[in-house]
């Protein structure tokens, strides 16, 4: 590719949501930047992957998003990128099912005996959330487990209601007791981060509107094609090592990784060495630190080492018998609480629709989509599940409006096994191996309270130093939206323009930029 000496040579490592949004923002300035985008995977998208399905076996759907599946209305930047390439998210009224059995089950669809048992503590949590907001510097960084003890919540309320809720929706998994209270407060109260409103009766809002994502494999393929057309050099199945970061330049060794054959960096003649003006690391913090090696500064080592990662396993399958043994998947009279108000009576009547009927935005009747259950031997550890047939829109489109759901054995399920250090608890051996569609390991970071004491406030002290910037959901909270914003913020730091399209989105971007980069966003007049 012909080089323009006036252009800044930028290399972006990682082609997930952060790297793609970063490269895309830089590519809007072809006269200012020469961009190279690198990823070790054979495709773009990072954890946003899609697998093919046999429509005849799986209710008419031909694909499944098996990593990132959806988000809330606050995902404005994500939706904006979808729209740019002719894709759209699809609304869905979210139904969840927590716990197994009358004494442990609750849902956001109808009242349960558990909700009745802890009604006073649900109300009390609403008051505590307000105190966390008022005393954010103190209470905000406190681990949830400490907050629950400090305000004298019962152990069972924390284990059966609070921890599963946070674990499921923020992807904090079995580290949830160590999560900072700021995330609990933001989940319910922050207009720019909340996934739903706090409900003083059932804790979680009744069937909030969320969105399922389009075919992410196709979307990221089209996004990559547009970047290439704009002159971005995309190198997939390629790894990089930092050789030097002196004299305002970054020297990298690039090496190919194809068909399982990896070129060893110390082997003579293997790989190529290239110089860049700026390095943007849009990969997990531990990978970034490994890439920097001995060239990492003490500040970078301090901040990046503060991000704790865990290896989780997702098994996609059609074993309805196994899935039903773990989770409450159907309405049962014994799971229903008191119809003590008109609202509750309406909720119960809705849930009693048997069998559920398909709607474009969900289901008429109890058809849960997200699930958790805890282990009797270790109740602060959970397993998670998804009924993808109930959740993802392509299944509903395949069967049509007002139709009945497919037979349980034609549903596509996912069971999420958290933290391989707890593998002795996993129930994965109960899945019929003949009904497994696929298995994937994920490298997920934990939102421990130390993350918000050390990593998030520390980012501004390493971003932009030594010609290096960082982006990724791990810089703040595990959301596709944050990943997109972080990539755009890194591009902004290099002089790319943030194109405002929505007041809400612009405000969120400006706050992220201030927190993670210590830079005030300059609004265009």
| 309, β-bridge pairs | 445
213-270 per-position pLDDT tens digit = 999 999 999 999 999 999 999 999 999 999 999 888 999 999 998 765 554 444 444 6
* Cα dihedral value 120, 336, 395, 59, nearest 10: 150
Q: Tell me the CA distances in angstroms from 387 to 193, 400, 414, one per residue in order.
A: 25, 18, 7
Contact 289, 296 (CB under 8 A): yes
Residue 205 CB burial class (10 angstroms; 0-12, 13-18, ≥19): middle
Paired tokens of 171: 């992807």
pLDDT of the residue at 24: 98
| Predicted TM-score (pTM) of this structure | 0.92
Closest CA to 93 of 345, 337, 347, 316: 347
Question: d(Cα 468, Cα 148) in Å, to the nearest integer?
Answer: 40
For position 264, what pLDDT does the model report? 47
Residue 381: helix, strand or coil by DSSP? strand
**CA–CA dist 170, 395 (Å, integer):** 25
Tokens 């591009």 sit at which residue? Answer: 491
Tokens of 368: 């849960």
According to the model, what pLDDT value does residue 265 have? 46
Under 8 Å between Cβ of 59 and 388: no
Which pLDDT score, from 0 to 100, does residue 523 have? Answer: 85
Identify whether the C-beta of residue 498 lies closer than 8 Å to the C-beta of residue 28: no
Helix (H) or strand (E) holding 11, with range, is strand 8-13
Beta-strand runs (E) in 215-285: 233-235, 238-244, 250-258, 261-262, 272-276, 278-281
Residues with Cβ within 8 Å of residue 353, at least 6 apart in sequence: 364, 365, 366
Q: Where are the beta strands (DSSP E) in 94-212?
A: 96-98, 106-107, 198-199, 203-204, 209-212
Among the listed residues 463, 494, 470, the one whose alpha carbon sits nearest the alpha carbon of residue 277: 494
3-class SS of residue 182: helix
CA distances for 95 relative to 66, 343, 346, angstroms: 19, 17, 15
Return d(Cα 399, Cα 267) in angstroms, integer. 56
SS3 call for 324: helix
SS3 state of residue 89: coil
How many Å from the N-terminal Cα to the C-terminal Cα in the chain? 36
Rg (CA), the chain: 23
- Token pair belonging to 351: 């849930």
Cβ partners under 8 Å of residue 308, min gap 6: 175, 445, 446, 448, 450, 451
Residues 6 or more apart from 266 whose CB is under 8 A from it?
Answer: none
Rounded Cα–Cα distance for residues 266 and 68 (Å):
36
Distance CA 195, CA 209 (A): 9
Q: Which CATH superfamily is domain 8-49+215-308+450-517 in?
A: FAD/NAD(P)-binding domain (3.50.50.60)
If 0-12 CB within 10 Å is exposed, 13-18 middle and 19+ buried, where does residue 374 land?
Answer: buried
> Which tokens is 390 given?
């109930």
Structure tokens at 325: 């043994």
Which two three-digit tokens encode residue 25? 């923002």
Residue 455's contacts (CB-CB under 8 Å, 6 or more residues apart) are 285, 303, 304, 306, 307, 474, 475
Which residue ranges in the chain fall short of pLDDT 50? 1-2, 263-269
Instruction: Tell me what pLDDT residue 5 has.
Output: 66
Distance CA 187, CA 185 (A): 5
* Residue reference for tokens 């970034």: 288
List C-alpha distances in Å: 194 to 16, 183, 213, 335.
Answer: 23, 9, 18, 28
């Amino acid at each position: 590719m012909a080089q323009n000496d006036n252009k800044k040579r930028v290399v972006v490592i990682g082609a997930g949501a952060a790297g793609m949004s970063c490269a895309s923002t830089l590519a809007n300035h072809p006269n200012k930047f020469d961009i190279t985008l690198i990823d070790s995977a054979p495709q773009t998208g990072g954890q946003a992957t899609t697998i093919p399905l046999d429509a005849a076996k799986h209710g008419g759907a031909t694909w499944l998003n098996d990593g990132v599946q959806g988000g809330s209305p606050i995902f404005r930047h994500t939706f904006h990128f979808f729209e740019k390439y002719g894709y759209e998210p699809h609304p869905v009224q979210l139904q969840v099912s927590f716990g197994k059995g009358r004494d442990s089950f609750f849902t956001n669809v109808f009242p349960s005996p558990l909700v009745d048992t802890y009604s006073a503590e649900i109300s009390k949590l609403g008051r505590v959330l307000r105190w966390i907001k008022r005393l954010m510097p103190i209470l905000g960084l406190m681990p949830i487990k400490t907050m629950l003890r400090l305000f004298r919540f019962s152990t069972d309320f924390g284990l059966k209601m609070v921890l599963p809720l946070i674990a499921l929706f923020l992807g904090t998994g079995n580290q949830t007791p160590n999560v900072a209270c700021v995330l609990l407060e933001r989940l319910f109260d922050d207009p720019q981060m909340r996934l739903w409103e706090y409900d003083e009766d059932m804790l979680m809002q009744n069937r909030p509107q969320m969105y399922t994502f389009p075919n992410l494999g196709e979307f990221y393929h089209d996004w990559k094609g547009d970047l290439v057309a704009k002159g971005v050099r995309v190198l997939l199945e390629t790894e990089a090592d930092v050789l030097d970061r002196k004299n305002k330049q970054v020297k990298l060794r690039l090496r190919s990784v194809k068909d399982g054959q990896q070129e060893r960096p110390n082997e003579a003649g293997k790989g190529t060495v290239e110089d860049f003006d700026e390095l943007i690391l849009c990969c997990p913090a531990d990978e970034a630190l490994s890439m920097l090696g001995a060239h990492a500064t003490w500040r970078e080592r301090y901040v990046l080492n503060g991000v704790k990662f865990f290896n989780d396993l997702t098994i996609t399958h059609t074993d309805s018998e196994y899935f039903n043994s773990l989770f409450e998947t159907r309405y049962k009279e014994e799971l229903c609480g008191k119809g003590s108000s008109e609202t509750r009576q309406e909720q119960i009547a809705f849930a009693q629709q048997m069998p559920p009927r398909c709607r474009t935005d969900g289901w008429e009747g109890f058809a849960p989509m997200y699930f958790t259950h805890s282990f009797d031997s270790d109740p602060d550890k959970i397993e998670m599940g998804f009924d993808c047939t109930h959740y993802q829109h392509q299944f509903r489109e395949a069967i049509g409006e007002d139709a009945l759901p497919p037979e349980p054995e034609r549903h596509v399920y996912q069971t999420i096994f958290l933290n391989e250090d707890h593998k002795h608890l996993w129930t994965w051996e109960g899945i019929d191996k003949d009904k497994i569609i696929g298995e994937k390991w994920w490298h997920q970071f934990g939102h421990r309270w130390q993350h918000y004491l050390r990593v998030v406030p520390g980012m501004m002290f390493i971003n932009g130093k030594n010609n290096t910037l960082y982006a990724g959901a791990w810089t703040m909270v595990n959301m596709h939206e944050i990943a997109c914003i972080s990539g755009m913020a890194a591009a902004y730091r290099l002089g790319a323009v943030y194109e405002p399209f929505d007041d809400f989105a612009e405000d969120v971007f400006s706050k992220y930029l201030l927190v993670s980069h210590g830079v005030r966003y300059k609004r265009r007049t």
